[in-house]
Structure 1
Amino acid sequence: MVLGFDLGASRKAAKQLRTAGDKARDRSDWDEAAEQYRQYLKIENDDFAIWVQLGHALKEQKKYDLAESAYERARDLKPDDADIHLQLGHLLKLTGRNSEAVEAYGKSYAIEPTFAAEMEMKSLGGVDEDIFLNAVSSQFKSKDVVYIELDDMLIYLEAHSTVSGIQRVQAEFARFVVDKGGLVSGTQFVFVINPPYQDCVWKLQPELVHDVVKYATGTKVDHEYLKRLIASVRSSAVRIEPSAGQCYLVLGAFWVFNTVSGRFLHLKRLGLRIGGYIHDLIPINQPEYCDEGLCHEFLLSFGDSMQVFDFILTNSHHTANEVIAYRKRLGLEPMPVEAVQLAHANKVTHDGADVWTPKIKGLKGKKFAMMVSTIEARKNHKYLVDAWRQFYNEGLEPPELVFVGRFGWRVHDLMNTLKQSRNFDGKLHILHGLTDGELNKLYKECSFTVFPSYVEGWGLPVGEGLAHGKPCVSSLTSAMPEIGGDFVDYVDPWNLREGIEVFRKMCFDEEYREARRLNIEKNFVIRTWSNFAENLAETTIRHHGAKINERVSQANFQPGIVFRPNELSFGKKLPTDYAVNPVRLLLSASWGAVEHWGSWMLGDRGEIEFKSPYKAGDEVVVYLEFFGAPFVGEDGYLTVVVGEGKMEMPVAGTHKYMKIPGDKSFVVKTSGKVGENGIVNVNVFVDGEVRLETDQPGARRFSVGIKAVAYSLKQDAISRSDIAEELVSGIVQV
C-alpha cells in the first residue's frame, strides 16, 4: 500500500510539474518552463513530448548545446518521428551548421515529406532536387476525392487578422468539411495548398485548418498568434501527387499568383477535373473600379482558366450570367456554369461575446446606420456621405454613420471630404480590424444597414444585416437583389436625389423602419453558411461525376508567328479577346511569371507545349530565343528536345548540348515531330552546376529565360526564313 501511495504521489507531482512547465511556456517564461520540465523528466524520463518541449525552451534561451542534447534524447526515444529531426535541423541551421542541418532535414523528409523540410533544404541548397520529385507521401487513390485549395485564405490571414469576402467563403466551407469528418456523400474532401511552379500539392492537416478558422472567426484575435497557427498548418503539410479521375476545386482568388498554368496545368495533365468558383468579373466588365495591375492579371488568368477549368461555379446567378455572356461574346464553346449562392450569415446568437469592447464602446447608446465593406471607390461610400451632408444642411439629425472596413483603393477624395468636415464633427465613425464578435454586436445595435455599392458579385453585408434582423438600404444593381429580395429598400447608386428620399424615410420614419424590421423578423429565412457549404459540396460532386468533354488545355499557336512572353507583361495592352487563345499556356507549368523581358525557367527543366494545325508525325522546326542568367555556372549546358512528350533528363550522348552563355541572348533552332492531336512538345534541360542568384538562403536557382518562341514546318523554307530574320540573335543548331 505504501509503495502504491508513493507511486501515485510521484505521478501527481509529475503532472503538476508538467502543467507548470506548460503554463510557463505559454507565457514565454522559458527559464521557468525549462526548470519545471527538467524536474518532471526526473520522474518521467521517457516522455518524448516533454524532451521536445525542453529543447524548445532551452533554444529560446540560446542555450543551444543543452537544447541539442534534449532534442537528441527525444530523437533516441522516437527515431522515426519526422518532427524531431526537423527541430534538430532548425537548431543546427540556427547555429550555422548548415550541412548538418540539411542532413537532419533530409532524415525528416525521408520519414514524411513535409512542406517545412522541403523548403528548408531548398533554402540551404546543395541538395539533389530529384529527391523532391520522387518523394510523395501516401496519397488518395480513389476517384471520389475533391481537393480544396486554401492558399488564398492562408496568405490573406497572414496579412489580416480577420476573414473577409472571398476568404470567408473558404473559411466557412473548411469549417463544414471538418465538421463532416472530411466525407460528404461518399466523397473525400482534402485541404491543400498549391504553391506555383510545383509538380505536386501539399495536403494540410484538417484539425490545424480548423484551429485557424475557429480562431480567425472568434471573438478575440491576436494576429501574431494567428500567424503562428498558420505557420503550423504550412510546416506540417505533406507532399502528395493527386491521381487521374479526381477533382480539384479553386475557391479563392485564382489570379493572385501570376499564372494559372504554373498552378493548375500539371494537375490537368495528371487527369484531374478542375473546377473554379468565380466571385465576379468586375476587373473585366467594370475595370474602372479596380487597380490596373489587378485588371491586367485577372484578364490573363481568367482567359487561361477558360481553357483549364472543366466547370465553373459562381457565387450568384448574376455572376453566372456574366460568365456565360462573356464566353458567348467571344465565341467560346459552352461549358458547365452554375450558381451556388453564398450565405446570408450563420444563425445569429448573442452570447458572452455580446459586449462593448474598447474598439466599439464609443457607439454605446447612440443610434447609427452601418456599412460593412472595404472603403474603396466601387463601394460608393461617398453616396452616403453626400446624403448625410444633405440632412445636416437641412438641420436634421440622422442616425450617425459607421463605416466598418479598412481603406482600399481610390479613396483620396473621400478621405479629403471627411477630413474637411472632421467626420461630420465626430458623427461619422470608421472602424477596422473588428472581430466577428465585435461586428455581431454592432449589427445587433445598429438602426439599419446601408450598402450603396455600384456593383458586386454577391454583397455579403446585405445578407448579414438581414440575418441580424435589421432593415437595409442597398443598391438595386448586380447581385444585391438576389440577396435581399423584397426585404431590402433599394436605391440607384448613380441617382443621389432619389436615394436621399429613400434614406430620408429609413432615417426619420421610425414607424416605417419598425414595420420593415418586423417583416424581416417574421418572414426572412436565413441561408446559413452550412446551407451554402452543403450545396457547394453536392454541386461539386455532381459536376465531378458528370461526363464532361475533355477540355483542351493547350494554346493554339499558329506557325510562322513569333510569340514573345513580354508582350503579356504589365504595362502592355492586352487583347480583349485574350481568352479565345490564351497563349500564356505555351509556357506550361515550369516557367515563372511573365516579366518585362520574358520569363525565367525554374530549376533545371522546362516545357513548352502548344497545339499546331499539323497532324501527328509532321516534322517541324522550332526556334527559341533564350537569355542566359548572369550567374549561370561555367559548366552549365542546355539541350532542347522536340516531339517526345514530357520526358526526364536525356541520357548523356543521346542529344546535343550547348554551353549556356551568361548574361546574353541566344537563339536555338531544333526540330522534331508533331504529336497526337497536333500537339508540339518542347523539353528544355540544363545540365551541370547552376549557381544560385546569390549566396543567401532562398536565392532563386535558374539558368535560362525564354524571350521568344516560333516554329514552322520543316519544308516551309519561306516561313523559316522569315522567323530567322525576325530573331536577330545568332542561331545555334541543336
Structure 2
Amino acid sequence: MSLLKRPGAASKTAITAAIRAGDAGRDARDWATAEKNYARALKLNPGLAGIWVQYGHALKEGGNLDEAGAAYAKAIAIAPMTADTHLQMGHLLKLQGRADDAAASYLRAVELDPELRFAVDELRHLAVKGVEWDTERLADAMEKPGAAASQPMTLEQLADQLERRLSSFQLFSETPASDADKRLLESIQDGLKAARKLSDAEQVSAQAQAEAAAHVVFDVSDLLSYFDNARLPTGIQRVQIEVITALLFDPVPGVAVEVCSFSKARDMWVTAPLPLFLRLCELALKSGDRTDLVWTEAVEEMQLALDIGRQLKFSQGAYLINLGTSWWLQNYFLHVRMAKERYGIHYIPFVHDMIPVMTPEHCVERLTQDFISWALGVYSHADHFLTNSEASRRDLIKVGATLGYEVKEENVKVIQLNADFRKPITEIPVAETMQRYGLKPSDYVLFVSTVESRKNHLSAFKAWLDLIRRHGAGKVPKLVCVGNRGWLNDQVFAMLESNPELRQSIMMVSGVSDPDLANLYKACAFTLYPSSYEGWGLPVTESLCYGKAALLSDSSSLPEAGGEFAVYFKLGDQAELTAQLERLMFDKAFRAECERKIAADFQPRPWRDLGVEIAETIKTWFPEGERHDAPPVEARPELGRYYWLRDVADTAVYPGMRSSEIFRSGDGWWSPDDWGSWTKPKGGALQLHVKPTGQKMRLYVGLLGLQREDCTAEVRIGGMTARKEPLHPGEHRWMPVDIAAEDMSSGVLQISLRSDKAQDFGLYTNGVDTRVTGVGVIGFMLCEADNMQARADFLEALTMRDLGELAKRR
C-alpha cells in the first residue's frame, strides 16, 4: 500500500487491519468506529498523512471540529504539497465560520492543483459572501496548463485550431461536397477570418498599452450584465460594442484602452479578458439565439473570469469611462472614491439621457429611484461628462442646477451618435427576410424601438387606425414594430389585443438578427419614431444610414438625430402625425425626394471617429506632459442635518438633495438597503470632511443589531474606542458620541463601526441572500455639542419617527 511507506517497528498487518476497520466505519457512516480505528493506525505509524486526513473526516463528522482541524494540520505538516488536504482544511474552516482562513486554504489547494475544480467553486461561493483573497495568486494558478477553469482560448490559438480543421476538411475534398459540407467549410472560414482579425486587435492593443501616455479604462459592467439575459444589443449596448472594439482594432496614438467590469458579487472591478470580450461582441451581433452552445459557453467563460479573475489595478491617473450605465450597482461610487484615493483616476461617465428625472411618468418607480441615486453620485464624483446631444447636455446641466451642482458647459462634451450602422456582415438575401416575416418590399413602415410608454406606440396605433378607416386596410402599409418589451406597455398590448383591424395591420417582432434587421430597413417604405423623449435616437441614424425617410416627433434630441433629413410632427399633435404619415405613404414623389436628399448629403461617420473624438477630448481636458491625478472626493456634512445611509426612496429631485452614501469610506460596506447599510464582518468606516472650529462636536449614529444573536457594537473615532455597547438581535440603537476638537484638527473625521460577531444571511434565507455582515448602520447626525436646538430637533424627529424631513433640511 502506498500509505504504508514507513511502518517503523509496528506490524504492517496490524496497521492494515486498523485502516480497513476505519474504512468500514466510514463507509457505514459509523464515525465513532472510524475515528477509533484510524487513531489506532496512527498510533502505530504517525507518519501516514492520508490516514490523518481520514481521521480528520471522522472527527469532523462526529462534531469534533477543533480536533479535526488538528488532524488536517498534521497531514499538511507531513505532506504539505497535497492539494486535497488543503481543500479539506478549507471545508472545515468554512464550517467553523472562519471564511478568510478557508479562502486561504482553498487558494493554496488551487495553486497546488489547478485542476481541482471544487476549490475554485468554493472560492467563487466565498466571493459572493464578501470574502477576499489574493486575486493575483489565483489568476497565476488558473493560467497554468490544465487548470480546472482554464483561461479562455487565446484568439491566436482559436485561429490555429480553425486552420487545422480547414486542412483536415480539404484532405477529403476530392469528392463533391454536400450542402452540409459547404456550410461547414463556410463556417470554418468565417471563424478563421474573425479569429485572425481579433487576434490582430489583441496584439495591436498590447503594443498601444506599452507606448501610451494616457490609459483609458472602459467599464462594460452593464454590457456584460445584459449578456446574461439577452444577446442582440440594443442602443446603448451597441454604442459600447462599436466604439470600444473600434479603438481596440485601431488604437488612437498615445492612448491605451483597457476593458473592465464591476463584479457585484466580489464588490470590485475585475479585468475583462480581451480575447473573450471581443469574442462575445462578435457573437452578439451575429444572432439572437441565446440557446446557441457557442454563445452560452462564451457567456459562462466570461462569468467565471469575473468571479475569479484579477482585481483591476488602475494605472496612476487613468480615465475610467462608462459608456453604459451603473444605476443598478449601489456600491459603485464607493469604489470610484477608493480608486480616486489610491490611483488618482478620473471618472468620466457618458450620460445618454436624463429620462427618469425629466419624464418620470414613463418609468417604473424602482428605475426612477435607482437613477436619482446614480445622479446624486455622478454629480459628486464625475470629473467631466460625455453626452450624446445638446438636448442631453442641457438636461444634465439643468438637473445639476436643481440639485445645487454647477456643471460648466466646457466640462460636458457632446459626442453625437451619428455613426454608420451598416456593417460588413455576412448578408442574407432580402427575399429570405421578407419570406421569414411574411412581408413585401415597400409595403410596410418600420418602427424600431423597445415597447414602452415613452416610445409612443399608442399614438402610432391610433394614427394607423384612423388611416385604415379613411383608406381601407388594403391600401395602408403594415406597421412592423421591432423591439423587446420594456415597461409600462400594458395599454399598448391591450389596444392591439382589443382591435382586430390593428392586429391585421400591425406586426410586433423581437429577437431580430442584425442581417434581418438590415434587410427590414432596406425593404421598408419609410421609418417611424414618434418618441416623446430621447437622449439621441439611434434608430433614426440607422434609418438614414439605409437611405430611408424617417418621420419623427420634434421632441428632445430627435431634431439633432434627424437633422435636415427627417420629417417631423409636433409631439402631442395627433392630427399632424396622421397627416405626415399619410403624406409619406401616398405621396411617392415626396418620399423619393426625401430619399434622394439622404443619398446625396447624409454622411454617417465610422464608429472609430466617436472613439477618436473621446480620446482627443481627454487630451484637451488633460494636456500631455502634465500630471493629472484627480483629487479625492470630499464629503462635507451639514451640521444638524440627518444623513440616512439607505438607498434612495425619492422619485423626484429637489433643491439641496444630497447623497448620504458618499460618507461611507473603504471596502467594508455592503450596498445600501431600504433601512440603511450593513457593514462587512471587518466593519465599515465613515469619512467626514469638517471645518475645524475648535469646538467639541456631538455625533449621533444609529446602529442595527444582528438578526439572530446578541453582539457588541463599537464606535471608534480616529482609531480610538469612543463607545462600545451591547446590541440585542434586531435592535435599533442610537449612540451619542462626543468628539473632541483635536480629533477634527486635520479637517477629516474618521469614524469606524464594527461588531464583535458576524451573521451569514445564507443560513436564514436558504441561500437567497448570501451576504455575511457585521453591524448595520442606519445613519448619523453631527452638530456642535453645545447646539441644544440641533440636538433637540434630532431627538424630536427620532421620537416622532420623522427623520426623513430632517434629512432634507438645509
TM-score, normalised by the number of residues in structure 1: 0.76
> 1:247 is matched by which residue type in structure 2?
Y
Residues 36-87 of structure 1: CA deviation (Å, up to 9, x unaligned): xxxxxxxxxxxxxxxxxxxxxxxxxxxxxxxxxxxxxxxxxxxxxxxxx99x
> 2:698 is matched by which residue type in structure 1?
V
1:430-469 matches, within 5 Å, as 430-469=508-547
- Where does residue 304 of structure 2 map in the other structure? 235
> Is 658-667 or 163-172 further displaced after alignment?
658-667
What is the deviation of 1:247?
1.6
Aligned pair 1:211/2:260, yes or no? no
What is the deviation of 1:655?
7.8
1:199-598 matches, within 5 Å, as 200-219=268-287, 221-223=289-291, 225=293, 226-236=295-305, 237-270=309-342, 271-335=344-408, 336-348=411-423, 351-355=426-430, 356-357=432-433, 360-365=436-441, 367-396=443-472, 397-422=475-500, 424-545=502-623, 553-566=633-646, 569-570=648-649, 572=650, 575-579=653-657, 581-588=658-665, 590-598=668-676
Aligned pair 1:704/2:770, yes or no? no
- Where does residue 222 of structure 2 map in the other structure? 152
Change (3 A) 1:706 1:302: same
- Where does residue 247 of structure 2 map in the other structure? 177
What is the deviation of 1:620?
3.1
3-state secondary structure, aligned to 1:189: strand
Alpha-carbon separation, structure 2, partners of 1:559 and 1:122: 43
Alpha-carbon separation, structure 2, partners of 1:122 and 1:660: 32
Residues 195-246 of structure 1: CA deviation (Å, up to 9, x unaligned): 3596742001111100011000114633454343122123223213324422
Aligned pair 1:680/2:749, yes or no? yes
Change (3 A) 1:308 1:375: same
Percent same amino acid at aligned positions?
22
Alpha-carbon separation, structure 2, partners of 1:363 and 1:252: 35
Change (3 A) 1:228 1:422: farther
- Where does residue 9 of structure 1 map in the other structure? none
Alpha carbons 2:128, 2:265 under 8 Å: kept:
no
Alpha carbons 2:400, 2:407 under 8 Å: kept:
yes
> 1:258 is matched by which residue type in structure 2?
Q
Alpha-carbon separation, structure 2, partners of 1:117 and 1:490: 61
What is the deviation of 1:718?
6.3
What is the deviation of 1:569?
4.3
- Where does residue 23 of structure 1 map in the other structure? none
Aligned pair 1:627/2:704, yes or no? yes
Aligned to 1:190, which of 258, 267, 274? 258
Q: Which runs of 5+ in 1 are unaligned?
A: 1-84, 645-649, 730-734
What is the deviation of 1:299?
1.5
Alpha carbons 1:558, 1:613 under 8 Å: kept:
no
Alpha carbons 2:223, 2:237 under 8 Å: kept:
yes
- Where does residue 10 of structure 2 map in the other structure? none
Alpha carbons 2:232, 2:288 under 8 Å: kept:
no
Alpha carbons 1:320, 1:339 under 8 Å: kept:
yes
Alpha carbons 1:344, 1:460 under 8 Å: kept:
no
Residues 288-324 of structure 1: CA deviation (Å, up to 9, x unaligned): 1211221122122102210111111001121112212
> 1:371 is matched by which residue type in structure 2?
F
Alpha-carbon separation, structure 2, partners of 1:722 and 1:330: 24
> 1:165 is matched by which residue type in structure 2?
G
Aligned pair 1:164/2:234, yes or no? yes
What is the deviation of 1:429?
0.7
> 1:282 is matched by which residue type in structure 2?
I
What is the deviation of 1:261?
2.8
Residues 621-668 of structure 1: CA deviation (Å, up to 9, x unaligned): 322111112135x6x543322235xxxxx8xxx887555532212233
- Where does residue 664 of structure 1 map in the other structure? 731
Alpha carbons 1:106, 1:117 under 8 Å: kept:
no
> 2:703 is matched by which residue type in structure 1?
F
Alpha-carbon separation, structure 2, partners of 1:318 and 1:458: 8
Alpha-carbon separation, structure 2, partners of 1:143 and 1:591: 34
Alpha carbons 1:631, 1:691 under 8 Å: kept:
no
Aligned pair 1:640/2:719, yes or no? no
Alpha-carbon separation, structure 2, partners of 1:382 and 1:561: 45
Alpha-carbon separation, structure 2, partners of 1:158 and 1:277: 22
Alpha-carbon separation, structure 2, partners of 1:204 and 1:484: 36
Alpha-carbon separation, structure 2, partners of 1:390 and 1:691: 61
Residues 439-493 of structure 1: CA deviation (Å, up to 9, x unaligned): 1111111111110111100000000011011111111221112122111111112
Equivalent pairs counted in the alignment come to 623
Q: Which runs of 5+ in 2 are unaligned?
A: 1-82, 141-205, 801-810
Alpha-carbon separation, structure 2, partners of 1:715 and 1:694: 46
Alpha-carbon separation, structure 1, partners of 2:111 and 2:744: 38
Alpha carbons 1:314, 1:340 under 8 Å: kept:
yes
> Is 211-220 or 232-241 further displaced after alignment?
232-241
Change (3 A) 1:693 1:407: closer
Alpha carbons 2:130, 2:680 under 8 Å: kept:
no
Alpha-carbon separation, structure 1, partners of 2:478 and 2:129: 62
3-state secondary structure, aligned to 1:159: coil
> Is 256-265 or 513-522 further displaced after alignment?
256-265
Alpha-carbon separation, structure 1, partners of 2:679 and 2:130: 18
- Where does residue 58 of structure 1 map in the other structure? none
Change (3 A) 1:340 1:111: farther
Change (3 A) 1:365 1:167: closer
Alpha-carbon separation, structure 2, partners of 1:716 and 1:553: 28
Alpha-carbon separation, structure 1, partners of 2:103 and 2:746: 48
What is the deviation of 1:717?
6.2
Change (3 A) 1:510 1:109: farther
3-state secondary structure, aligned to 1:146: strand
Alpha-carbon separation, structure 2, partners of 1:130 and 1:122: 10
TM-score, normalised by the number of residues in structure 2: 0.69
Alpha-carbon separation, structure 2, partners of 1:549 and 1:700: 34
What is the deviation of 1:107?
4.3
3-state secondary structure, aligned to 1:630: coil
Residues 337-376 of structure 1: CA deviation (Å, up to 9, x unaligned): 1111113433455743335259943114561110000111
What is the deviation of 1:603?
3.5
Residues 133-156 of structure 1: CA deviation (Å, up to 9, x unaligned): 997979999873221111100111
3-state secondary structure, aligned to 2:684: strand
